[in-house]
Amino acid sequence: MTNTYVITGGTRGIGRGISLELLAKGHKVFALYARNTDEANKLIELAKNFPGQLICLRGDLTKEDNLEQILQQILNSAGAIQGLIHCAASGVHRPVDQLKTKHLRWTFETNVFSFHELLLGLLPILTKNSKVIGLTSAGSDRYLQQYAAVGSSKGALNSLFRHYAVELAPRDIGVSLICPGMVETDAISSFPNREERVNGARSLTPSGRLTSVEDVAQFVSYILSVEHNQFTGQTFYLDGGKSLLA
């Protein structure tokens, strides 16, 4: 059966991997992105090799007019959707004494507020047994260097998803979070001491390797394929056991 999924940040990194995984299974994917048209075009070319249908939609969801335009495009052509996956994330990496309110505001608007608005707009066409999945971070509840802005936004997202899980359950909508640990994508290029942090994370991971984009994509696909929603409200740690040690 062909389903329809909406993925924020769906043209790069983990979001791109999830898009490809679902396209390979013959599904229809709306891959949302804010700016990088080159990466979107690369995904469009790759998608030609898969049975599914890809629709890339460009727009900064923190801007009301862009959000409304994207919502209208999805509502006009989707009819119904079986899953909403939130992969888009951004933020400022600075020590707290250099972190301004404008940095926090921008981070929260990208990582939390815009997704909430998107969910509200798509809620009427989320079908029975549909899924809402978000990506979170270990930095949501522990210290990571220069991660205060992103970590606090992920903590807010975690709380929001818990409330989604309870209040959307009567509508037969399942809500889950995935915490994959450190995944080597372009997103971590902005981390301070990147190599040191990557090597440190790998050394503390019992499985001996970091989680890959493909690991996350396959797990998201599994969650979407399960017909029931009995694991709603859960955070799944897909980190090779790292969370057990650090």
- CATH number at 205 reads 3.40.50.720
Phi, psi dihedral angles at 111 (to 5 degrees): -90, -25
- Which of 133, 123, 27 minimizes the C-alpha distance to 80? 123
Three-state secondary-structure class, residue 40 = helix
* Prediction pTM value: 0.93
**What local confidence, expressed as pLDDT, does residue 188 receive?**
60
Distance CA 242, CA 202 (A): 9
Q: Count Cβ atoms below 10 Å from residue 220 Cβ, excluding itself.
A: 28
Tally of domains within the chain: 1
- Which of 216, 223, 234 minimizes the C-alpha distance to 15? 216
**What local confidence, expressed as pLDDT, does residue 106 receive?**
94
Distance CA 23, CA 143 (A): 37
Please list the pLDDT of the chain residue by residue as tens digits (246 residues).
899 999 999 999 999 999 999 999 999 999 999 999 999 999 999 999 999 999 999 999 999 999 999 999 999 998 899 999 999 999 888 999 999 999 999 999 999 999 999 999 999 999 999 999 999 998 899 888 899 999 999 999 999 999 999 999 999 999 999 999 888 766 666 666 667 677 767 777 888 888 999 999 999 999 999 999 998 999 999 988 888 886
Distance CA 165, CA 246 (A): 27
Domain residues for the domain of 30 are 4-244
